[in-house]
Amino acid sequence: MSVSMEANWEGIRRIRQELGLLLEGYSPELRAATMMAATELLENAVKYGDAVAQSPQVEFELSLDPGVIQLKATNGCTAAEKVERLRSILDDLVAASDPEVLYLERIRQRSASVSGVPDSGLGLYRIAVEGGFDLAVTYTVGVVSVLASRSTR
């Protein structure tokens, strides 16, 4: 599955529905985790992305290979600090002996703040901890892609 969408909430809803249909033959746990991860990736692309010549729309890909499911969201990004923040969050997740501790701390920080924690990365932590996905990021001249992958077993 490969889809281009305008950066809006309706596009996320549509892709989520299509994913639900495509994943009907998989376990309810895998289906729910994949739909959640896709939603989080797409919400981040809509909230933090920029329309640029190289990536005027949000691109979403689903790959179902034997034993592995991969999701990829690609969008324009003109702010290097956003990419560095993204990389920092993913580095923290990889380095953590227990990513769930980071996730719970991020939830506590967010709930303790009156205005919320800007760019808290909560959705990324959720994908990794609740969804069981490994995350990776690539950035090339104004275009950022986040890849989420996990075993289908």
CB 102 within 8 A of CB 66: no
* Between 141 and 118, residue with greater pLDDT: 141
Would you state the pLDDT for residue 129? 96
* Between 105 and 118, residue with greater pLDDT: 105
The model's pTM is 0.90
Q: In the chain, what are the domains?
A: 2-151 (3.30.565.10)
Checking if the pLDDT of 27 tops 90, the result is yes
Checking if the pLDDT of 99 tops 80, the result is yes
CB 63 within 8 A of CB 74: no
Helix (H) or strand (E) holding 23: none
Checking if the pLDDT of 72 tops 80, the result is yes
Q: What is the Cα–Cα distance from 122 to 110, expressed in whole angstroms?
A: 9
Average pLDDT, the chain: 91
Identify any residues that bridge with 68 across adjacent strands, giving them in sequence order.
65, 151
Would you state the pLDDT for residue 114? 61
